[in-house]
């Protein structure tokens, strides 16, 4: 998993956020539907982060942004994966065209898409 210089790993950040919320390892594992042993291994970076759906649940339980946590886990959101499969030519092309755009340019594109969807209803 690639991370920014000085950035914490998925496992380290998970442990930090979980303990800050005073949730035990065993209880949190139960909350996300995994074993405490597995979760401990993830937190110690011995195992890769869980699937995108579990990472989403982790983020929600911790009050964090699921998309940021999915990125940190080096996963692809399930809904994005579905969209790419439904539009195997258009979605990758759209993403390639968007490569290198500034945050402001992304906002403009997102607003245009929102307007198009609103008109289409």
Q: Is residue 48 part of a domain?
A: yes
Same domain for 60 and 18, yes or no, is: yes
Q: Is residue 80 part of a domain?
A: no
In which band, very low, low, confident or very high, does the pLDDT at 8 lie, cut at 50, 70 and 90?
confident
In which band, very low, low, confident or very high, does the pLDDT at 2 lie, cut at 50, 70 and 90?
very low
Taking Cα atoms as reference points, which of 10, 84, 75, 6 lies closest to residue 47? 10
Count of domains in the chain? 2
Give the residue numbers spanning the domain of 22.
Answer: 10-72
Give the CATH number, domain containing residue 40. 1.10.260.40
- Write out pLDDT tens, residues 26-78: 999 999 999 999 999 999 999 999 999 999 999 999 999 999 999 999 999 99
Q: Are 68 and 17 in contact (CB under 8 A)?
A: no
Whole-angstrom distance, CA of residue 80 vs CA of residue 121: 22
Tell me the whole-structure pTM to 2 decimals.
0.78
């Amino acid at each position: 998993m690639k991370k920014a210089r000085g950035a914490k790993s998925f496992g380290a950040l998970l442990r930090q956020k979980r303990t800050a919320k005073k949730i035990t390892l065993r209880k949190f594992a139960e909350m996300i539907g995994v074993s405490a042993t597995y979760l401990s291994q993830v937190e110690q970076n011995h195992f890769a982060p869980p699937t995108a759906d579990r990472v989403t649940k982790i983020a929600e339980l911790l009050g964090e942004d699921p998309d940021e946590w999915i990125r940190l886990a080096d996963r692809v959101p399930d809904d994005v994966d579905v969209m790419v499969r439904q539009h195997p030519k258009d979605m990758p092309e759209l993403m390639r065209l968007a490569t290198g755009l500034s945050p402001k340019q992304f906002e403009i594109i997102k607003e245009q898409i929102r307007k198009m969807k609103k008109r289409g209803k």
